[in-house]
Amino acid sequence: MPTLNDYLVLSAILFAIGTAGVFVRRNLITILLSIEIMLNAVNLSFVAFGRSFGTADGQIIVFFVMTVAAAEAAVGLAIVISLFRHRESLNPDTFTSLKW
Amino acid sequence: MTLFYLFGAVAVIASLLVIAQRNPIYSVLLLIASFGALSGLYVLLDAPFVAVTQIIVYAGAIMVLFLFVVMLLNAPHEETEHDEKIHPLRRPGAMRFGAVLAAALVVELLWALTRSSGEPGAFGATAVSSVRELGRVLFTEYAFPFEVTSVLILVAMVGAVVLAKRDPRAHT
């Protein structure tokens, strides 16, 4: 049987992949997808901990995380559409107006 | 154990391919495969309701939203040679230092997790897997956060409409 440690290691690997995606990719949509990978890695460790403690709290928190992820995706994609209209590009290095 | 490795391998490989693709459409489709593997892991963790929600809400709703936007923008090849040239990992100085720090953090995280305390951390016998119990906890103990979530979704909905709306002054 896989143990709690196995799930936590898998979750850490997935989170690292998501972080690497945010750093490496130069495409706003792929960056948002990487954030989704990170959220899912955290969800996995929440459920694993909830299973380990024998409570329902882990699964409840996963529902809240999913809700926040849905809201984040909706607003983030709306911002991406709006940015693309202005600059005709999805490269985050194009949007440096606020950079001092 | 075999199923755990199978689902874990599918999730990790699909996620790696997500960030290796240049075409965002393939990234979205591969991420759906990764989510499917994760929902299999939730079933292994005695959380069938979370597994079903993962498929319906994540793979079914959020990823379709991503697909809509990818096809709406119709910007297939973002990463031109110019983008590659100004990629942060190729820039000298602070950016490369930050990338090295991030890699070091990943190594430290894995090191700490694999060397954690001697107990194997096997799961106990009790598991909350019934939808009835989840619903009872959600609507009693977590009733207030649940209501706040509805406000959050309302705000996100209004915000998305306002942000994506075409500016009427832009046409003049």
The pLDDT, as a whole number, for residue A95 is: 80
Q: Please indicate, yes or no, if residue A4 is contained in any of the structural domains.
A: no
B129 pLDDT higher than 70: yes
Task: Centre a 10 Å sphere on the Cβ of residue A55 and count the other Cβ atoms it contains.
Answer: 16
Mean pLDDT of chain B: 83
Share of chain B above pLDDT 70, in %: 80
* Alpha-carbon gap, residue B172 to B169, rounded angstroms: 6
The DSSP secondary-structure symbol of A54 reads T
The total number of structural domains that make up chain A: 1
Q: What is the CATH number of the domain that holds A41?
A: 1.10.287.3510
Q: Please indicate, yes or no, if residue A6 is contained in any of the structural domains.
A: no
Q: Please indicate, yes or no, if residue A19 is contained in any of the structural domains.
A: no
Mutate to test the interface with B, among A51, A64, A79 (most CBs of B within 10 A): A51
Nearest Cβ partner for A9 among B106, B114, B163 = B114
Q: Please indicate, yes or no, if residue A35 is contained in any of the structural domains.
A: yes
Q: Please indicate, yes or no, if residue A100 is contained in any of the structural domains.
A: no
Q: Are B24 and A77 in contact (CB under 8 A)?
A: no
Q: What is the pLDDT of residues B96-120, one digit of tens each?
A: 777 788 778 778 877 877 776 656 6
Q: What is the pLDDT of residues A30-51, one digit of tens each?
A: 999 999 999 999 999 999 999 9
State the pTM of this model.
Answer: 0.85
Name, in order, each residue with C-beta under 8 angstroms of B56's C-beta and a sequence gap of 6 or more. Answer: none
ipTM over the 0.85 cut-off: yes
Answer yes or no: do B110 and A43 touch at CB < 8 A.
no
Q: Please indicate, yes or no, if residue A5 is contained in any of the structural domains.
A: no
Query: Between chain A and chain B, how many beta carbons pairs sit less than 8 Å apart?
Result: 217
For residue B102, the chain A residues in CB contact (below 8 A) are 19-20, 23
State which residues form the domain around A37: 27-89
Q: Please indicate, yes or no, if residue A53 is contained in any of the structural domains.
A: yes
B149 pLDDT higher than 90: yes
